[in-house]
């Protein structure tokens, strides 16, 4: 039996173990997939012990997507471009990092292509997930401008500098500023990549007192819960909203393909599990 896992801190919110279990069963593969909580201070030892255990592959989630890079033997071009990995394949004693979040985010944002192209786009957060989002936005779309809003301004500045280009300027901003309402009010598309509002802290929103308006599009990468406080407020204001389920399913499909060589319809697997 081959073993797979998801590492994170926390990791208990993740539906990846349930989804991949169902996927392995659907593909008639005798494999296990378990959640493993690794504290950020113990990441090096954690990866060494996973490797020694002969694990076949694993997913990487909050907050390890960037920190894991120096601990891998190889990374593919997507990881090099994004600066973060969410999937690792262990083959012939080599750990190779991949980024399948970009496949997931491409699927999630595809219905909103017209609004993104030529529009003002706000990205909340400056971590690994934000890097995947910015990679897709700056390579597959032509936004008029992108604003990165983050709690820690230095991280917003670093990520903006990494992805900004003369064609699509990426501007850093603080999530804690006097005119947050004015800034967000000028955006056409708002994308939350932070973990604020995710289970179990579902009462929180990264834009607590901000009012949305009709013809704004608000996308949340969080899929647990299906509708975050951020999305509920936006929907009630008449904005178009999308939760992170499509991204979750499509990044999982691509991870599964990298591990097993098999293409699976993860939406079908998810619906077969009862969601
Ligand atoms: P991931 O790799 O999944 O993106 P990460 O690298 O830990 O995870 O990034 C998490 C993001 O959520 C960061 O932008 C973080 O803000 P900081 O850069 O200031 O740490 C943001 N975040 C997490 N908790 C937050 C909170 N309570 N309020 C605002 N932002 C928060």
Nearest CA to ligand 1 atom 11: 194
Q: Is pLDDT above 90 for 48?
A: yes
Does 11 sit in the ligand 1 pocket, CB within 6 Å?
no
Mean pLDDT on 214-218: 97
Q: For the segment 130-170, what is each residue's pLDDT rounded down to a tens digit? A: 999 999 999 999 999 999 999 999 999 999 999 999 999 99
CA distance 107 to 124: 19
Ligand 1 pocket check for 151: Cβ under 6 Å = yes
Which of 126, 173, 208, 222 has the most ligand 1 atoms within 8 A of CB, as the residue to mutate?
A: 126
| Mean pLDDT value across residues 67-81 | 98
Q: How far apart are CA 137 and CA 109, in angstroms?
A: 9
Average pLDDT over residues 101-108: 98
Predicted pLDDT of residue 53: 97
CA–CA dist 46, 44 (Å, integer)? 5
Residue 169, classified by CB atoms within 10 Å of its CB into exposed (0-12), middle (13-18) or buried (19+), is middle
Instruction: Answer yes or no: is the C-beta of 228 below 6 A from any ligand 1 atom.
Output: no
pLDDT value at 107 more than 90: yes
Place of tokens 């970009």: 102
**Could you tell me the pLDDT band of residue 183, with boundaries at 50, 70 and 90?**
very high
DSSP per-residue string spanning the chain: -EEEEEEESS-TT--HHHHHHHHHHHTT--EEEEEEE--GGGHHHHHHHHHHTT--EEEE-TT-TTTTGGGSSEE-HHHHHHS--SEEEEETTEEEEE--HHHHHHHHHGGGHHHHTTSEEEEE--SHHHHHHHHHHHHH---SEEEEEESSHHHHHHHHHHH--SSS-EEEEESS-TTHHHHHHT-SEEEE-S-TT-TT-TT--TTTT----TT-EEEE---SSSS-HHHHHHHHTT-EEE-SHHHHHHHHHHHHHHHHS----HHHHHHHTT-
Cα–Cα distances in angstroms (integers) from residue 52 to residues 19, 42, 45, 183, 245, in the given order? 25, 15, 10, 49, 33
What is the reported pLDDT for 215? 94
Q: Which atom of ligand 1 is nearest to the CA of 63?
A: 7
194 lines ligand 1 (CB under 6 A): yes
Average pLDDT over residues 118-127: 98
Determine if ligand 1 sits within 6 Å of the CB of residue 63: yes
Give the mean pLDDT of 236-241: 98
CA of 173 to the centre of ligand 1 (A): 14
Say yes or no to pLDDT of 258 above 90: yes
Residue range 21-30: mean pLDDT, rounded = 97
**pLDDT, position 244:** 98
pLDDT at 13 over 90: no
Whether 65 sits among the annotated catalytic residues: the reply is yes
Mean pLDDT of the chain: 97
- Cα angle 103, 51, 60 (rounded to 5 degrees) comes to 30
pLDDT over 90 percentage in the chain: 98
Asked if the model's pLDDT at residue 67 lies above 90, the reply is: yes
- Closest CA relative to residue 81, chosen from 126, 128, 135, 125: 135
State which ligand 1 atom lies nearest to the alpha carbon of 152: 19
- Closest-lying ligand 1 atom to the alpha carbon of residue 156: 18
- pLDDT for residue 275 is more than 90: no
The residue to mutate among 85, 195, 197, having the most atoms of ligand 1 within 8 angstroms of its beta carbon, is 195
pLDDT of amino acid 243: 98
């Amino acid at each position: 039996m081959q073993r797979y896992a998801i590492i994170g801190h926390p990791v208990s919110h993740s539906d990846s173990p349930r989804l991949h279990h169902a996927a392995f069963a659907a593909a008639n593969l005798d494999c296990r997939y378990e959640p493993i909580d690794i504290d950020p201070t113990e990441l090096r030892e954690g990866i060494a012990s996973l490797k020694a255990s002969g694990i076949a592959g694993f997913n990487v989630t909050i907050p390890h997507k960037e920190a894991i890079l120096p601990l891998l033997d190889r990374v593919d071009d997507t990881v090099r471009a994004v600066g973060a990995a969410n999937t690792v394949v262990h083959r012939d004693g080599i750990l190779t990092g991949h980024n399948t979040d970009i496949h997931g985010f491409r699927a999630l944002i595809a219905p909103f292509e017209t609004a993104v192209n030529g529009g003002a786009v706000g990205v909340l957060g400056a971590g690994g997930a934000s890097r995947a989002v910015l990679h897709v936005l700056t390579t597959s779309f032509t936004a008029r401008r992108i604003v990165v809003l983050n709690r820690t301004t230095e991280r917003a500045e670093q990520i903006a500098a990494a992805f900004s280009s003369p064609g699509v300027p990426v501007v850093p901003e603080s999530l804690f500023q006097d005119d947050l309402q004015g800034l967000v009010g000028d955006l056409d598309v708002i994308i939350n990549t932070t973990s604020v509002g995710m289970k179990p802290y579902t009462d929180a929103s990264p834009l607590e007192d901000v009012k949305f308006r009709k013809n704004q599009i608000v996308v949340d990468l969080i899929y647990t819960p299906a509708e975050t406080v951020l999305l509920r407020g936006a929907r009630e204001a008449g904005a178009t909203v999308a939760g992170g389920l499509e991204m979750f399913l499509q990044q999982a499909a691509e991870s599964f393909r990298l591990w097993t060589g098999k293409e699976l319809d993860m939406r079908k697997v998810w619906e077969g599990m009862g969601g």
